[in-house]
């Protein structure tokens, strides 16, 4: 009963969806956004962002491998999850996620990475020794033809796969917003704009994540950051963020204008239960501040030094990540804080060392970075002098 205000039914005291269900849409959003950034170079021929193309693909794969783990931890019997593949339920959006995930993982992302890296994989399978040689041999899938014609076919097929991958990325994350938006019994979630808001917030968070990772890895390698690249990424991030913020404000204005019987309880919750996470973190620090800073870099870019712009981009990228995570928190957790009668409120107390606690959540946030480290070691996303010299010799 601690933390409960007003009248609530017994089954409304405890929240069914925890921090793990907050992480799930946040992580899948990073996957979709990273892939969209990669498609800018592959499909739309934005040459300025080319230094981040392969890194964006590997980042998307690293986070995609991590994406189902929050759901697995949340399930009481995760070993039963394969049943959704053997006993499909076409009318359940949640059940169909398994097929969307496998399609995006194998038919889109892994296939595109393999096509893009096939030449390097073949060369590395010939140069490497020991266990690495075996790994690269397996990764060639028995194809060692790296003639000019074969590579041209790879490029054409890869372009088609990327083109198919764009709507697939929207579907991967948009369906999460569809699940929340289609729940009519919950006024905090029920909105036709929910899938669209999820997609655009995913795009901006994924772009911000790749930009931060690119800047960090370039610094660690003691190389100069390509300012033309990060300036272009920041420009796209700024425009996408404007659209995302506009959609969220449109949804809010519509709720205020409609003002149905649930509006009073939602208004009270925003000013109490979610004031810090929604007003302070999501809107002020996570949205208005980065939008203002990005606006300054777009208008007065020539008056700002490269060092100043880099610092602004790091601040903006970090704040945007916080904003999108806060948005996911406000949707998932906030939508469970009020009673279905609109007469009572509860609180969410996150534990520390439990299956769905803070430490598990932190571990799931760190894990994709470890996946990315392994992927980068196996398939370097930046040109390596020795590899290209060997390729030239072949």
What would the pLDDT profile of 41-92 be if each residue is shown by its tens digit?
Answer: 999 999 999 999 999 999 999 999 999 999 899 888 888 888 888 888 777 7
The helix (run of H) or strand (run of E) holding residue 370 is helix 358-378
Q: Residues 172, 32: contact at Cβ < 8 Å?
A: yes
Which one is predicted more confidently, 226 or 383?
226
Report the pLDDT value the prediction gives residue 48, as an integer from 0 to 100. Answer: 95
% of the chain at pLDDT higher than 70 = 94
When pLDDT is averaged across residues 187-196 and rounded to a whole number, the result is: 84
The pair of structure tokens assigned to 381 is: 């996303």
% of the chain at pLDDT higher than 90 = 61
Dist CA 44 CA 58 (whole Å): 19
Q: Considering all CA atoms of the chain, what is the largest pairwise distance in Å, rounded to the nearest integer? A: 76
CA angle 349, 175, 237 (to 5 degrees): 85
pLDDT digits 0-9 by tens, 114-173: 999 999 999 999 999 999 999 999 999 999 999 999 999 999 999 999 999 999 999 888
**Which residues in 279-292 are b (16+ Cβ under 10 Å) and which e?**
eebbbeebbebbbe
When pLDDT is averaged across residues 1-20 and rounded to a whole number, the result is: 74
| Position 390 confidence tier, pLDDT thresholds 50, 70, 90 | very low
List the one residue out of 312, 317, 314, 309 whose CA is nearest residue 228.
309
Phi, psi (rounded to 5 degrees) for 74: -70, -30
Report the pLDDT value the prediction gives residue 385, as an integer from 0 to 100. Answer: 47
Return the number of other C-beta atoms located less than 10 Å from residue 220's C-beta: 8
Dist CA 369 CA 381 (whole Å): 15
Lowest mean pLDDT among 92-96, 173-177, 234-238: 92-96
Report the pLDDT value the prediction gives residue 192, as an integer from 0 to 100. Answer: 83
CA distances from 369 to 27, 375, 381 (A): 12, 10, 15
**Residue carrying structure tokens 């956004």:** 33
CA distances from 120 to 158, 207, 234, 279, 321 (A): 15, 26, 30, 48, 33
pLDDT digits 0-9 by tens, 246-256: 999 888 888 77
Dist CA 306 CA 218 (whole Å): 15
Handedness of CA 211, 212, 214, 218 (dihedral sign): positive
The pair of structure tokens assigned to 189 is: 């979630």
Dist CA 252 CA 244 (whole Å): 13
Is residue 270 over pLDDT 80? no
CA distances from 342 to 163, 187, 262, 263, 272 (A): 45, 10, 6, 9, 15
Q: Residues 207, 237: contact at Cβ < 8 Å?
A: yes
pLDDT digits 0-9 by tens, 308-341: 999 999 999 999 999 999 999 999 998 888 877 7
Q: Residues 282, 330: contact at Cβ < 8 Å?
A: yes
Q: Per DSSP, which regions of the chain are E strands? A: 5-6, 344-345
| Position 181 confidence tier, pLDDT thresholds 50, 70, 90 | confident
Report the pLDDT value the prediction gives residue 393, as an integer from 0 to 100. Answer: 40
Which one is predicted more confidently, 88 or 361?
361
**Residue carrying structure tokens 């993982």:** 105
Which one is predicted more confidently, 19 or 252?
19
List the one residue out of 1, 7, 113 whose CA is nearest residue 60.
113
The helix (run of H) or strand (run of E) holding residue 224 is none
pTM: 0.92
Mean residue pLDDT across the chain? 88
Report the pLDDT value the prediction gives residue 384, as an integer from 0 to 100. Answer: 57
When pLDDT is averaged across residues 24-42 and rounded to a whole number, the result is: 94
Dist CA 14 CA 32 (whole Å): 31
The helix (run of H) or strand (run of E) holding residue 180 is helix 148-181
Dist CA 394 CA 151 (whole Å): 14
Handedness of CA 351, 82, 174, 115 (dihedral sign): positive
Is residue 389 over pLDDT 50? no
Is residue 208 over pLDDT 70? yes
Q: Residues 177, 332: contact at Cβ < 8 Å?
A: no
Is residue 223 over pLDDT 60? yes
Considering just the CA atoms, what is the radius of gyration of the chain in Å? 23
């Amino acid at each position: 009963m601690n933390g409960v205000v007003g009248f609530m039914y017994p089954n409304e005291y405890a929240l069914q969806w925890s921090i793990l269900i907050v992480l799930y849409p946040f992580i899948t959003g990073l996957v979709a956004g990273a892939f969209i950034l990669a498609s800018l170079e592959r499909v739309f021929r934005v040459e300025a962002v080319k230094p981040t193309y392969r890194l964006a693909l590997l980042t998307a794969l690293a986070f995609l491998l991590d994406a189902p783990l929050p759901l697995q931890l949340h399930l009481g019997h995760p070993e039963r999850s394969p049943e959704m593949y053997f006993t499909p339920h076409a009318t359940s959006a949640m059940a169909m996620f398994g097929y969307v995930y496998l399609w995006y993982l194998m038919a889109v992302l892994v296939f595109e990475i393999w096509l893009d890296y096939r030449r390097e994989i073949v060369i590395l399978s010939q140069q490497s020794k020991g266990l690495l040689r075996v790994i690269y041999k397996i990764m060639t899938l028995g194809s060692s033809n790296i003639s000019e014609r074969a590579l041209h076919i790879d490029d054409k097929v890869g372009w088609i796969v990327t083109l198919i991958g764009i709507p697939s990325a929207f579907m991967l994350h948009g369906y999460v917003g569809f699940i929340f938006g289609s729940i009519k019994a919950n006024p905090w979630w029920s909105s036709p704009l929910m899938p669209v808001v999820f997609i655009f917030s995913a795009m901006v968070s994924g772009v911000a994540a790749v930009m931060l990772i690119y800047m960090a890895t370039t610094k660690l390698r003691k190389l100069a950051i390509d300012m033309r690249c990060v300036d272009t990424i920041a420009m796209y991030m700024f425009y996408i963020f404007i659209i995302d913020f506009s959609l969220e404000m449109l949804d809010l204005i519509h709720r205020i204008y409609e003002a149905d019987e649930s509006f009073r309880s939602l208004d009270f919750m925003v000013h109490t239960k979610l004031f810090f996470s929604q007003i302070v973190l999501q809107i002020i620090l996570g949205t208005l501040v980065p939008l203002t800073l990005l606006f300054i870099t777009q208008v007065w870019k020539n008056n700002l030094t490269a060092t100043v712009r880099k610092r602004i981009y790091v601040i903006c990228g970090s704040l945007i990540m916080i904003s999108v995570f806060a948005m996911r928190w406000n949707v998932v957790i906030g939508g469970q804080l009020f009673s279905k009668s609109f007469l009572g409120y509860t609180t969410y107390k996150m534990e520390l060392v439990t299956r769905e606690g803070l430490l598990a959540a932190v571990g799931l946030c760190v894990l994709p970075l470890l996946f990315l480290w392994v992927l980068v070691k196996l398939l370097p996303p930046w040109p390596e002098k020795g590899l290209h010299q060997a390729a030239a010799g072949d």
